[in-house]
């Protein structure tokens, strides 16, 4: 196996039908992994699966609303039934139903953020960690956000959930490291996805943002996928409990967005 090769691995990816999740699924499949693609819309997942299979890869679509624990268990069960193991879990599914100051958030939106962005990642981790520990090998990658390390007045609770994911990764890394299991988060900056469309589809606003980025562009889903492949492969075998910021340099600029 090559340093960045994923041959023989099985990767389960939540929120895998589009955007960052889709890019991770496609790039991991290119690296040789069998990928299980999950989201609420199984038809959208199947479209990604068909594309991977057309290129000679192996993939499976499983519908799953990550806010329902029984559906998380179904996702794990179906993945194990199909492939017999889960080597890499990518927790990418996330929501942000509230835009505005944290003090204006209502209970339903608060609970949805907690259930999708935090609880789902912990429960899935609990479900896959034992079989990883048996083999003394495995990786968990949670897609966080720079909103988890910066202050914001408009997506504050989302940022809290993403900071929680970073803490979760550190804690799991401490507990499961003796079993050769690595747990990390990736913190994207502004990426060109449907999820962040409101932040980049306005040409004037986008130009203003990009002018402040050292790389002078917002990110592409593949920019995140490359780091995920690295963390899942042997190349990242001595990295655990870390948050890798992938933001074109936006957080290093004083006054940056």
Q: Cα–Cα distances in Å, from 94 out to 97, 136, 210, 226, 237?
A: 10, 29, 24, 20, 26
What residues are annotated to the active site? Answer: 158
What H or E segment, with its residue span, contains residue 148? none
> Whose CA is closest to 144, among 9, 20, 16, 10?
20
Contact in structure between 112 and 155 (CB atoms under 8 Å): no
Cα angle, residue 80 at apex, residues 76 and 81 outer, rounded to 5°:
115
Neighbours of 220 (CB within 10 A): 14
What are the residues whose beta carbons fall under 8 Å from the beta carbon of 227, sequence distance 6 or more?
186, 244, 246
Helix/strand/coil for 105: coil
What H or E segment, with its residue span, contains residue 34? strand 34-39
CA 149/CA 163 separation, integer angstroms: 7
Residues β-bridged to residue 34: 10, 58
Residues β-bridged to residue 88: 11, 139
């Amino acid at each position: 196996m090559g340093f960045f090769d994923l041959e023989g691995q099985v990767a389960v990816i939540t929120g895998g039908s589009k955007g960052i999740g889709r890019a991770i699924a496609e790039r991991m499949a290119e690296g040789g992994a069998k990928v299980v693609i999950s989201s609420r819309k199984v038809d959208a997942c199947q479209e990604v699966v068909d594309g991977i299979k057309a290129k000679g890869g192996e993939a499976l679509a499983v519908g799953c609303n990550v806010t329902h624990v029984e559906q998380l268990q179904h996702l794990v069960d179906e993945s194990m039934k199909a492939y017999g193991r889960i080597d890499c879990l990518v927790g990418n599914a996330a929501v942000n139903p509230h835009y505005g100051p944290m003090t204006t958030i209502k209970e339903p939106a608060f609970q949805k953020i907690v259930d999708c962005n935090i609880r789902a990642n912990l429960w899935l981790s609990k479900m896959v960690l034992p079989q990883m520990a048996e083999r003394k090998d495995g990786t968990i990658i949670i897609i966080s956000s720079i909103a988890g390390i910066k202050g914001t007045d408009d997506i504050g609770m989302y940022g809290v959930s993403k900071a929680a994911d970073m803490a979760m990764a550190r804690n799991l890394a401490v507990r499961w490291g003796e079993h050769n299991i690595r747990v990390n988060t990736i913190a994207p900056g502004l990426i060109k996805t449907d999820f962040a469309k409101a932040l980049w589809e306005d040409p004037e606003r986008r130009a203003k943002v990009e002018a402040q980025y050292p790389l002078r562009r917002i990110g592409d889903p593949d920019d995140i996928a490359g780091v995920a492949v690295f963390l899942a492969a042997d190349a990242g075998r001595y990295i655990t409990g870390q948050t890798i910021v992938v933001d074109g340099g936006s957080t290093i600029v004083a006054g940056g967005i």
